[in-house]
Structure 1
Amino acid sequence: MARYSCESQSVALITLTNPPVNALSYAVRQGILAGLRKASADPAVKSVVLCGANGKFCAGAEISEFNSDPTRRLPMLVDIINLMEKSDKPVVAAIEGVALGGGLEVALGCHYRIAQCQAKVGLPEVTLGILPGAGGTQRLPRLVGVNAALDIITSGRHMLASEALKLGIVDEIVDSNTVEAAIALAKKAEGLPIGPRRICSKTVQCPDNLEAILDEATKKIKKQARGALSPLVCIQAVRMATQLPFSEGMKKERELFNTLVTSGQASALRYAFFAQRAVEKWTTPSGNWKTAVALPIHTAAVIGLGTMGRGITVSLVKAGIPVIALEDNQRQLDIGKKAVEALLGQVAQKLEPPENKNDSNLLSRVKYTLNFAELRDVDLVIEAVFEDMMLKKGVFRKLTAVCKPEAFLCTNTSGLDVDQIASVTTRPERVIGTHFFAPAHVMKLLEVVRGHRTSPQTIGTVMKLAKALNKIGVVVGNCPGFVGNRMLAPYSENACFLLEEGSQPEEVDRVLEEFGFAMGLFRVIDLSGLDVGWRSRREKGLTGPELPPGTPPRSRNGKRYCPIPDLLVENGRLGQKTGKGWYQYVKPGGRVSSPDPWIQDFLKSYRLTHNIKTRYIDQDEIIERCLYPLINEGFKILEEDIAAGPEDIDIIYIYGYGWPKHTGGPMYYAWTVGLPKVLSKLEKYSEAYPDVPSMKPSNLLRKLVSNGSPSPSQWRTVTRPSNSKL
């Protein structure tokens, strides 16, 4: 709803009240409209102030209403904004907290805008697969120009009030008492001409190189948001603002909005929006997000200052948590310290407001040591040493001896058995896996791995910490590779089989990138290093000197095996770090790749050696053989209850593995493709490649198809296993 009151003899105050963020629900829209009409009809009212309750202006549309009864969409927000803008009484927006999406569009319809200095504004509709549909694409270019409008609308980014002031989005910023300042501004505006304050009456200032600007924006979007429709349509809408009168541009905006809002991509992005919120509500047999009492973390320790440890340390410091960073020798400690300080220097430069850009404030939060005894009083420890079970167990034995009994002990592992690590401690209920993703101070995902005896309080505390670190925590069960890396294995395996049969790395990557991945699989492997996977395979006995003599080169335990990645490592091709991997680079450590003739010759020789008849493999088969086994593994994970639902898997893959968000994630994508089709293709490939177990369809997939392929929200009701890992 929206509350109407008169704060002085001449100023009416309309307060949006829809906790927690004053979303523009049906009731709120009705309330705004009623308030505007009441103010217009009251001769004593000379001006209006629009604000939000509880220190938040408005975070935009009520997304749950997108699929609602059309009659619930009236009054339309666009009509309310137009009415407000046409008012002959000045309307002032008092922006506190956030003015996002429809909230900013409402503010743009006001004649004046005043913001509290910490408020954020933006038009994030593009992240939901739509565009600002209440005048945002038509008013913003008229207010700030084409360049700024394109950046704001196509990125969906949020900006602080200080930037909004520089751009002209707001007229004034204040430190506090925003509503009082808005009332004072409203009184000053009484009697002043309103016409010049109506954005709709302005014309877009078109630069001479307008077409070049629009073309460059299109190229940028196609590169950065591969396959995403809404950013490109946003550019079309901004183009309309430069070519058409306001009223005609608004009609085009509405047409484009209606096209997008009913698209498959918008549906997928709305699913992802709600999935991200659903994963916060974790449940285990012994407790859940409601009942677990999370403890505050005042101090933390990080053990190991390699790549992951450095990023984790920076994440904690950014969250305001003092850190004790420990290494096992002075040289590694010095190297780690230098790297952490460099990262913190970069972080400091990005902080707002400018007075926070003081490196020393951040650097003072980290203490470096070689002594485990200094960890005795920390609330939480994150172990980030090398991925070796014996090494990690040794660390946890020491932690058990020195840390206070109530301290939480976390292991940053990408797939080792959390229960084994916990077994060497006297407090397994306080041990939990925290799988960060590299770079840890940038990547949003945190796999929170529950061991057999991990307590609900431990889970709750780490999930709360994830939020403090600005990460998305997803609770998963304990199994080799957990969720993300377990699904990655069949993806990588089958991509390599394609190379054996005739594909080139760049061909596979091109298809995956056209699908929407920012980087194809082989580019990603070059980035992380081919030696990472090689070490894992060696530890499993799949390659290396301990492989039994006479082992067939392309078979392991009766299953198909591709030794090509092992052979590349043996040839010193480790990826970007050596300048050669699946691709070649100008120099070691370089980022610009090109296809390597050596790889082509090597693959040709390999196929001849193993008498493999090559063939042309089209893009459909590449997608099916790379992604369907990954999806199939996801169904097995659900069947075993390693993940609570498809939403958990989809969020893990969107935020941890670069799965294109506009497809909703792997499990949602499978549903949109059609579960019967996925099943049929897996059956086809399983028959063709009986020695590839990842192609054998999961029982859950078969069960879902036999149950009519219900939507992902209903999958968990189809089966609930007795051998739950959650």
Structure 2
Amino acid sequence: MSALKRMLGPVAVITISNPPVNALSPAVQESLLKVLKEINLDPTVKAIVLGGENGKFSAGADIRTFQTREVRSAASLEDVNSALEKSTKPIVAAIEGVALGGGLELALGCHYRLAHVKAQVALPEVLLGLLPGAGGTQRLPRLIGIPAALEIITTGQYVSAPAALKLGLLDSVVEDNVVQAAVDLAHNVIGQPLEPRRLCMRPLPCPPNVEKLFDEAKVKLKKQFRGAKSHQVCVDAVRAAVELPFAEGILKERELFLTLFSSDQAKARQYAFFAERSVARWTAPSGANWKSASPRPIRTAAVIGLGTMGRGIAVSLARAGIQVIALEQDKKQLEMGSKAVMSIMERETQKKQQLGHALNAPHFGFVKFTLDFNELGNADLVIEAVYENMALKKEIFQRLSKMCKPETFLCTNTSGLNIDEIASVTDRPHLVIGTHFFSPANIMRLLEVVRGYHSSPTTISTVMNLSKVLGKIAVVVGNCPLFVGNRLMGPYVEQAVFLLEDGYTPNEVDQVLEEFGFAMGPFRMSDLAGLDVGWRSRMERGLTGPKLSPGVPACQREGKRYSPLPDILCEKGRLGQKTGQGWYQYERAGGRTAVADPWLQSFLEDYRKAHKIRQNVVRHDEILEWCLYPLINEGFKVLEDGIASGPEDIDVIYTHGYGWPKHMGGPMFYASMVGLPRVLTTLETYYESNRDVPSLKPSALLKKLVTQGSPPLKEWRSQLGHHQSSKL
């Protein structure tokens, strides 16, 4: 971990060396300061080039050290940047690969910036609950202007080298040897004045409506990142660049950084960052690991069904360069599906090109559309994506078993049906696995990989490797009704509907959950997905409730409270946005703007009166508890059952597939943050007065953890038993 120096004539080349991504550790920063001091005292050196080893400039700070090192060391990077900026010899940053976070801030300290055409730059600290803490919020606005800097700093978005050149962030983009090009540039600028190139001395161009710009940015970010602090504080840091001299702005940036650094939201964001990586290392309690098996390459994949989900899966496969065979049942459905797939691919390509990513635009594999089942015979992998009907899926898998080559992997995109039952009709249950994509599949990154009892390590390994090729975040889960994500969603939605019976409106419940950070509350979400999705699933499993009789205070089904409200709305044709009416009303069928529906309010009032349901008004913070704590409780039960191998699995599924705000870490992290004793006590209180709601009964694992003093979340795995749903 050091900064290496070599000479190319009068130009000194400094190379950051800290594999694999040249993270700016304290040791690297100290080495940079030392080398810079030596070079500036060397009269034979006339210019400097700063680059990174192995084709990467720097991915910034190593956040693994955030919880172990003293926070003050994060400030030393600004010492390096200041030394770069004040150098009496011109310094050119030679950017290859990535310049992220502190890496980009390092480049901003240089006098010139040159990058390879395929390089990317970003300030992603905001996505870790922080802000750029080494001058990024003060230098970048001085270089590219406040509007563009705000966009980059407050969203953490990656910017391609061509786009960065257009913004003025880079001085040049090259297609060949970056270091040599930087050395050539350094030769050309020897002796030129450096004051105009020092961003600390550059005046900040302010638009006349700058205060309005900041206010509008805060409003936009509040809506886009509900409840998140770091995005708002980033605006305050950029505002400091306008209101304060550079040196004072640096101090203000540091103050704001430290405020965020010690916050629960930053801890949650950083936990989410590592949780996303930990799920890729899934290991069964027996010690079996899918990585112990070698994945097989997937060159040709088939998709059965070109509805919304199948289209997205086909696009995802084609985008990864995989040859796709897309099958539909009739000519009309095939034509609709093929047009939709080609349209999505064309839009994606155009969007990339418009954003300046022309060289990184997706190169789609060939997609063949067919009605002939026999075309699937030579596919390496097949993904069935028809609607949720067990009989239909089993019929398809029987046919696949007969016509596909013996080594073909058979995948089902089911959101909750029994993988083992589907596998039972095949001649290769060890090659059958669940691939639960999330809609739209070409956008949503989450993939629940559902291991059946017979799913082999090679099958799991192949699908996990495929998920990486597709750019997905895959989580291995066990086989049970609804798997992990939808299983936890059941108690959440159930409690939300019970709150309607108790006197609340959909808008009141949604508002509380959206203030917490969800992009949509349960009722807006249900309207978007379509109420009939859950209705069909309940009918498939025989769970649609009996009609209420007058005088019955709550619907009972096998001794359990059951609300028929969603079923009643479906029976009335109120299926959500698609019909223009659901829990809300819309301006038209397919509309997006939800408006409170007077009819629904009147209907709920009549419903309560007819069935003598006494209104039970609770505080808004209690609405949060009623909805979230049963969801969390189900998460503990999932861990008990061995369906998820650890709390991180559940949290990644929820932050990437169900809109749980990342600044709250995920349901299991949130439980640890508010305190397991509080969660347990609240559930016990609620269950005591609602014995007919099993989801409120505290799980044995939750009780066990509280009894053991509520150990940190990272120690929960040691309390888990063996998986009960797999032989692995």
| TM-score, normalization by structure 1 | 0.97
Q: Sort the Cα spacing of 1:440 and 1:701 in 2 relative to 1 into closer, same or farther, 3 A.
A: same
Structure 1 partner of 2:51: 51
Secondary structure of the equivalent of 1:526?
helix
Structure 2 partner of 1:39: 39
How many angstroms apart in 2 are the aligned matches of 1:355 and 1:539? 47
1:315-348 CA deviation, whole Å, 9 max, x = no partner? 1111111100001111111111111111112111
How many angstroms apart in 2 are the aligned matches of 1:716 and 1:467? 25
1:229 and 2:229 are equivalent in the alignment: yes
Structure 2 partner of 1:401: 402
How many angstroms apart in 1 are the aligned matches of 2:278 and 2:266? 18
Structure 1 partner of 2:635: 634
Q: Sort the Cα spacing of 1:643 and 1:357 in 2 relative to 1 into closer, same or farther, 3 A.
A: closer
How many angstroms apart in 2 are the aligned matches of 1:74 and 1:465? 37
1:395-437 CA deviation, whole Å, 9 max, x = no partner? 1111111111111111100001111111111111111100000
Secondary structure of the equivalent of 2:4?
strand
How many angstroms apart in 1 are the aligned matches of 2:490 and 2:529? 15
- Displacement of 1:38 in angstroms is 2.1
Q: Sort the Cα spacing of 1:499 and 1:358 in 2 relative to 1 into closer, same or farther, 3 A.
A: closer
- Displacement of 1:663 in angstroms is 0.5
How many angstroms apart in 1 are the aligned matches of 2:571 and 2:526? 16
Matches within 5 A, 1:641-660: 641-660=642-661
Structure 2 partner of 1:303: 304
The letter for the 2-side match of 1:13 is: V
Q: Sort the Cα spacing of 1:71 and 1:630 in 2 relative to 1 into closer, same or farther, 3 A.
A: closer
How many angstroms apart in 2 are the aligned matches of 1:545 and 1:427? 40
Structure 2 partner of 1:322: 323
- Identity score, percent: 60
Contact 2:479 2:725 in 1 (8 A): no
Contact 2:553 2:612 in 1 (8 A): no
Contact 1:638 1:646 in 2 (8 A): yes
Matches within 5 A, 1:662-681: 662-681=663-682
Secondary structure of the equivalent of 1:584?
coil
Structure 2 partner of 1:482: 483
Q: Sort the Cα spacing of 1:659 and 1:74 in 2 relative to 1 into closer, same or farther, 3 A.
A: closer
Structure 2 partner of 1:30: 30
Contact 2:445 2:473 in 1 (8 A): yes
Q: Sort the Cα spacing of 1:75 and 1:625 in 2 relative to 1 into closer, same or farther, 3 A.
A: closer
How many angstroms apart in 1 are the aligned matches of 2:69 and 2:224? 35
The letter for the 2-side match of 1:389 is: M
How many angstroms apart in 1 are the aligned matches of 2:422 and 2:687? 36
Structure 1 partner of 2:264: 264
Structure 1 partner of 2:721: 720
1:253-278 CA deviation, whole Å, 9 max, x = no partner? 00000110111100000100100010
Q: Sort the Cα spacing of 1:378 and 1:182 in 2 relative to 1 into closer, same or farther, 3 A.
A: same
- Displacement of 1:455 in angstroms is 1.0
How many angstroms apart in 1 are the aligned matches of 2:360 and 2:11? 40
Structure 1 partner of 2:474: 473
1:12-58 CA deviation, whole Å, 9 max, x = no partner? 11111222211111222122222212211222111111111111111
1:505-529 CA deviation, whole Å, 9 max, x = no partner? 0000000000000111100000011
Structure 1 partner of 2:61: 61
Structure 2 partner of 1:454: 455
Structure 2 partner of 1:169: 169
- Displacement of 1:655 in angstroms is 0.3
The letter for the 2-side match of 1:683 is: E
The letter for the 1-side match of 2:681 is: S
Secondary structure of the equivalent of 1:594?
coil
- Displacement of 1:551 in angstroms is 11
- Displacement of 1:300 in angstroms is 0.7
Structure 2 partner of 1:686: 687
RMSD (Å) for aligned C-alpha atoms: 2.0
Q: How many corresponding residue pairs?
A: 724
How many angstroms apart in 2 are the aligned matches of 1:426 and 1:48? 66
Contact 1:538 1:544 in 2 (8 A): no
Matches within 5 A, 1:189-200: 189-200=189-200
Contact 2:377 2:403 in 1 (8 A): yes
Matches within 5 A, 1:203-352: 203-284=203-284, 285=286, 287-352=288-353
Identify the range of structure 1 (281-290 vs 425-434) with the bigger mean alpha-carbon deviation. Answer: 281-290
Q: Sort the Cα spacing of 1:722 and 1:502 in 2 relative to 1 into closer, same or farther, 3 A.
A: same
- Displacement of 1:75 in angstroms is 7.7
- Displacement of 1:286 in angstroms is 6.8
Matches within 5 A, 1:102-181: 102-181=102-181
Q: Sort the Cα spacing of 1:299 and 1:547 in 2 relative to 1 into closer, same or farther, 3 A.
A: farther
Q: Sort the Cα spacing of 1:503 and 1:716 in 2 relative to 1 into closer, same or farther, 3 A.
A: same
Secondary structure of the equivalent of 1:709?
coil
Contact 1:57 1:99 in 2 (8 A): yes
1:143-196 CA deviation, whole Å, 9 max, x = no partner? 011100110000000010001001111100000200110111111121111111
1:60-114 CA deviation, whole Å, 9 max, x = no partner? 1110111223288278111011011100011111001100100000000001100
How many angstroms apart in 2 are the aligned matches of 1:493 and 1:407? 40
Matches within 5 A, 1:429-578: 429-543=430-544, 554-578=555-579
The letter for the 1-side match of 2:458 is: Q
Matches within 5 A, 1:366-385: 366-385=367-386
Structure 2: state its 5+ residue gaps.
none
Q: Sort the Cα spacing of 1:422 and 1:512 in 2 relative to 1 into closer, same or farther, 3 A.
A: same
Structure 1: state its 5+ residue gaps.
none
Contact 1:305 1:325 in 2 (8 A): yes
Q: Sort the Cα spacing of 1:149 and 1:71 in 2 relative to 1 into closer, same or farther, 3 A.
A: closer
How many angstroms apart in 2 are the aligned matches of 1:485 and 1:315? 23
Q: Sort the Cα spacing of 1:292 and 1:371 in 2 relative to 1 into closer, same or farther, 3 A.
A: same
- Displacement of 1:553 in angstroms is 7.1
Secondary structure of the equivalent of 1:293?
coil
The letter for the 2-side match of 1:694 is: S
Structure 1 partner of 2:413: 412
How many angstroms apart in 1 are the aligned matches of 2:238 and 2:255? 13
